[in-house]
Structure 1
Amino acid sequence: MIVRIMGEGQVRLDDGHLTELNKLDDELLAEMQSGDEEGFRRTLGALLDAVRHLGAPLPDAALEPSELILPSPDATLSEVREMLNDDGLIPG
């Protein structure tokens, strides 16, 4: 699976990591719904760090279609809410 982190680039990620990432995504969704800005910041950072750590970055010149697009690390809670539509960032 190809994942794009907005403002950073693309990462190739094995589908086997989706369960682990979905746990963070569920946490992020709950924090967003409750308006927990501090928790949202922490969990978004953890989700992006996990993708970076578990995946392999694609060269900057590569233009693969992204199956998943994640917000940049500095995205606001309201910006991410607009991206989500209450479905989470990671497909279930």
Structure 2
Amino acid sequence: MIVRIMGEGQLKVADSHFAELNKLDNELLAEMESSDGPGFRRTFHALLEKVRELGEPLPDDSLEPSELILPAPDATLEDVREMLGDDGLIPG
């Protein structure tokens, strides 16, 4: 799956990693629902770091369609709330 981190670029992440990413996404969703700002910031950055760690960066000139778009690292809790679907940032 192609994942875009807004403001950074795209990474190809194997589907086999999505259970691990969904765990962080579920934690993030719970922190957002409880308005836990520090917890949100910590888990959000952990999620982005895990995507960077597990993903293979695509060349800057690549024009692959992104199947998942994650907010920029400096996104606020409110910014992320606006992007959330029923399943969190990562569907499934």
- TM category, shorter: over 0.9
Cα distance per residue 1:2-35 (max 9 Å; x no partner): 0000000000000000000000000000000000
- The code of the aligned residue for 1:9 comes to G
**Structure 2 segments unaligned to the other structure (5+ residues):** none
- Asked whether the 8 Å contact 1:12–1:57 carries over to 2, the reply is yes
AA partner of residue 3 (structure 2): V
* Separation of aligned partners in 1, 2:85 and 2:24: 17
Instruction: Please show how residues 3-82 of structure 1 align to structure 2 within 5 Å.
Output: 3-82=3-82
Residue-pair matches, total: 92
CA distance in 2 between partners of 1:86 and 1:34 (Å): 16
Q: Aligned-pair distance for 1:63?
A: 1.2
Task: Name the counterpart of 2:84.
Answer: 84
Question: Could you tell me which amino acid in structure 1 is paired with residue 72 of structure 2?
Answer: S
Give the Cα separation in 2 of the matches to 1:37 and 1:17: 26
CA RMSD of aligned residues (A): 0.7
Matches of 2:63 and 2:45 in 1, distance apart?
25
TM-score by length of 1: 0.97
User: What is the TM-score normalised by the length of structure 2?
Assistant: 0.97
Q: Percent identity?
A: 74
